[in-house]
Structure 1
């Protein structure tokens, strides 16, 4: 006797594929796996832009050279910083009063190296009663080992350049003192007479 099927079994039977259909589907899957389907390369994803950039890509901007300024008073204003670094004329100043730091940005122009050197000479100067630090930076953020090494190398190089600059200044001062002493000695011995004429008189 044939058993009577429940509604659930009848519905399952309607959706159940026949043996032939199942074998046909399996053969199609095997063929698809054996032949690697050549799919078109996925289109490159568009990079999201920040709203402030207004769709401009970063490649349009040139490299920026950034100098770090630390140990600032928390009440230091943008105009005070601008006045202090007037001689180096930075293009942009990013001030972080909550942390007591600032970043001076220099865009590439014909005299950028001189401007950055002038800014770096402001190291250990006094601003609002505090001795400020002015140092080079390495792009990016975080504390990765590579970045810290680059920063350390740049700062060591800067320290060596500062030492060399001080040595040269001391040498120039000594040479100018010697030359001024020599001039005074020459003037004292000749008593207002030209040295060649003094030789003739002797």
Structure 2
């Protein structure tokens, strides 16, 4: 060693030894030595953390990942703004209320009872004895299906006269919603009465026409045939 060279200080020697060795857990003394060395070079770098902390950090990230995934999945399932779609196709959905059902009614029985109207889905609330018929789509075809279902009002299911009425979506018993339901069903009841009156009138007219036909056949030389028989022949 020349006279001009100065022996390395203990701190510098320790820092050099730490830098030369591969990454390992540092003691408090070694950390201070490395910090001193970095300061002397004019740039301060953070002391390397213990390698034993890395597995702990990785395990924490893995533990948190499922919870974040579940949250994201729930948001996606609910759809835009968390409201979801009206139905699977994104089109409008129409509901009919069915009441006064037996409490043990099942899906198959209701589907069979309303087979002519072909509802897309039936949601049953057995604890209340009610159900909702759901119709997807729009246009004249869906209106016809709903009309067919509404004509099942006061029909008999297991010796019970069930109610089939219009309703509105949204749920709850707010004053505005109940008023809308009442208005719709009042209008529906008026139409029902008009339809029943029209059907009875058509039936009376048919009976009158049948009676005229029987009398006409009797006048044409069939007087020896019983009127009831003539009526059957006239159909």
- After TM superposition, the score normalised by the length of structure 2 is 0.57
1:21 corresponding residue in structure 2: none
SS in structure 1 opposite 2:98? strand
Tell me by how many angstroms 1:54 deviates: 2.7
- Which of these two proteins has the greater Rg computed from alpha carbons? 2
2:135 corresponding residue in structure 1: 106
Structure 2 CA distance for partners of 1:53 and 1:131, relative to 1, 3 Å: farther
* Distance in 1 between residues matched to 2:75 and 2:100, nearest whole Å: 29
2:114 corresponding residue in structure 1: 85
2:77 corresponding residue in structure 1: 54
* Distance in 1 between residues matched to 2:166 and 2:73, nearest whole Å: 27
- Runs (4+) off by over 2 Å: 48-60
Aligned CA-pair RMSD: 2.2
5+ residue gaps, structure 2: 1-70, 223-235
Q: Among residues 162, 165, 169, which one is paired with 1:132 in the alignment? A: 162
* Distance in 1 between residues matched to 2:166 and 2:206, nearest whole Å: 33
Tell me by how many angstroms 1:55 deviates: 5.4
Q: Among residues 209, 212, 230, which one is paired with 1:182 in the alignment? A: 212
Residues 122-157 of structure 1 show CA distances to partners (whole Å, capped at 9, x for unaligned) of 111111222211110012122222211111110011
2:125 corresponding residue in structure 1: 96
5+ residue gaps, structure 1: 1-47, 193-202
Worse overlay, 122-131 or 78-87: 122-131
1:15 corresponding residue in structure 2: none
